[in-house]
Chains A and B, each alone.
Chain A
Amino acid sequence: MAGVPFRWPRCLALAVTSALLCGPGGAAAQGTNNVAPLAVTQVKPGVFVHLGALEDWAAANGGDVANLGFVVGSRCVAVIDTGGTPAVGQALRAAVEVATPLPVCYVVNTHAHPDHMLGSVAFVATNQSAPRFVASAGFARTLAARAPYYLNALQRDFGITLPPAAIVYPTLGVEKSLDIDLGDRVLTLRAWPTAHTDNDLSVYDQRTRTLFASDLLFVRHVPVLDGNLRGWISAMAELKQLDVAMLVPGHGPVSSDWPAVGDAQADYLNALLRDTRAAIKDRLTIQQAVDRIGVPPGSQWLLTDRFHRRNVTAAFAELEWEDDVPPRPAAPSPAGSSAQPARTTGG
């Protein structure tokens, strides 16, 4: 991955253009210069954020549901997530061009979910020097396994037909941590052990103490578990230690109330952990657990109908292995503890 020379096929620009023409939102199909720019807010000097709709990734919202952003240095720009269709990516690129004449030198993908990365292709077909595409070291493998399903869902649910070549893979993989310099501005990228997914990457702007938490943090939109529940709870505890003046979640409004803005998610994940463990202890089946474990009363989450049952499903499949290793007295085996399964981090 990292450092491998990369050549985009000649057919790509044509393929992407035709894909855009097929998709909804015809205005976006006229090429970058005529694309309506995505609405962005400058939340800190040089830090721009677009808030996605608090909805499921769907044709009705054009796939525009994830928070996206870009950070402007003195030399160039880093884009952080690219949106749920190529058209959203095009509109984000137009927003960058409105904000600054500087080129995009990095496109950061925070994880391999379609609502965050299918717009990346909009940043490929450029006459300028191509940006580097940066993601967690685990991103490419996971995306390779899932891309056919994303393309299928795009076609089935959005009516957008994309060639496999429109799926953009990183040219630079982050094992643990990486600083990227935009000119008088350094972003610290950090790859996390499996949490929301197995390829989460957070982005921290040192100058303004802005944290793009990726989907490690959901606000108002119920958290979605597609990785490891215990890993996610641990990651949140670590995130909390960061000095953050402005928090950009993967979904939901930005906040300067850090770390309190993360409390609701911590409560939700801890309740999910507690209730699912109790269900397993009571010898419920996975279906019984899904049917019985509700959303904690009083919580204000949106989209629970869509995601809560899924979260219980994933939590159950993880936690049912938890009491796995029988106690082995006098046999020191640091890797054998069932509380923290041996897991390679950072790919």
Chain B
Amino acid sequence: MISMPRSFAVCTVLLFGLCAGAQAEIKSGDNPESSVVWQKVRASLFQSRPIAAATDDVISLEVPVRAEDAAIVPIAIKTRFPQTSARYVDKLYLIIDNNPSPISAVFQFTPLSGQADIETRVRIDEYTHVRAIAETNDGQLHMTTRFLKASGGCSAPPGKDAQAALATLGRMKFRVEGETAGTTSGSKPVLAQLMISHPNNSGLAMDQMTRLFTPAHFVRQVRITFGGQLVMSADVDFSISENPNFRFYFLPRGEAELKAEVVDSNDLKFSSALKYRRPD
């Protein structure tokens, strides 16, 4: 065999080592608790803490039945109660068992988030369980799980035009979508959307023979503040689609600056800000 760098070999094992014996199980989506990857992730993130099955009054996870385009799969995690200082979602974990890096995102929220909802788009490498786990401020964990079918043959997780993606690296579009039907009276959470032009390369794909290699280069942290106070932060990786997109809420008080600060895996920093005051 042709030799290859050790790191790539490890990645390949992570990516496709699971194909060998368990193809039927991969496609069925049965027994989400028995997923070997999940058991490892659970042990590393939550040790032996109890994780309740989330009921609909806590969180829901919206994913399509099938990844139509493996590179761009819209997902939404919705919490079912408002963020108050008495009770709020502190963290949301997004786990995609059969992606090369299963811990795909860890979102942090505050009472200023208003509503701890998040929408984004992910890559889906393989038939997989997708999990959203909410950690509330009292330390309780609630998990909801969906099974997602992989896309067909000619769709693949890497982006569609690597050169175009690099050409606009770091450009951002940041806007306030406006109020929606929130659950608090008087001051409803306001929805905002952040778009970041970035190839979000995994660095995993390399051909042994040609040595063609796109190095890992991805957004790793997003931090949103309003008037200097944290609204939402996200530790993310290349499970997030090319041109990362996040939709989230904040609770505006008076007029202030809504600011997004982004750091990528090469320690490049990008930021975007806008003034916002709730319309009277």
On A, residues with C-beta under 8 Å from B are 1, 9, 11, 56-58, 84, 113-115, 138, 140-153, 155-157, 164-165, 167, 169, 194, 197-198, 224, 226-228, 283, 285-287, 290, 306, 309-310, 313-314, 317-318, 320-321, 324, 341-344, 347
Contacts and interface: CB of A to CB of B under 8 A. Distances in A.
Contacts of A57: 152-154
Q: Classify the secondary structure of B's interface with A.
A: loop
Contacts of B152: 56-58, 153, 306
A167 B171 contact: no
Interface stretch (B45-53, B78-86, B201-209): B201-209
Nearest to B242: A317
Contact of B212 (A144, A152, A155, A341): A144
Interface residues of B, number: 57
B160 A114 contact: no
A227 B160 contact: yes
B13 to A, nearest CB: 12
B69 A314 contact: yes
B247 A285 contact: yes
Contacts of B68: 290, 309-310, 313
Contacts, number: 156
B209 A165 contact: yes
B271 interface: no
A113 B151 CA distance: 14
A152 B19 contact: yes
B19 A283 contact: no
Nearest to B68: A310
A310 B15 contact: no
B145 interface: no
Contacts of A148: 12, 15-16, 204-205
Given A115-B154, A149-B70, A290-B68, A142 B162 contact: yes
B158 A164 contact: no
Contact of A321 (B126, B195, B208, B247): B195
B4 to A, nearest CB: 9
Contacts of A197: 160
Given A153-B153, A165-B208, 4 more contacts: A57-B152, A114-B153, A142-B158, A148-B205
Contact of B155 (A164, A287, A310): A310
29 contacts: A9-B209, A56-B153, A57-B153, A115-B154, A141-B162, A141-B212, A144-B205, A146-B156, A149-B156, A155-B19, A164-B208, A194-B164, A198-B164, A224-B154, A226-B155, A228-B160, A283-B177, A285-B247, A286-B121, A306-B152, A313-B74, A314-B160, A317-B242, A317-B243, A321-B173, A324-B171, A341-B168, A343-B161, A344-B167
B181 interface: no
Candidate in B74, B206, B247 with the most chain A CB atoms within 10 angstroms: B74
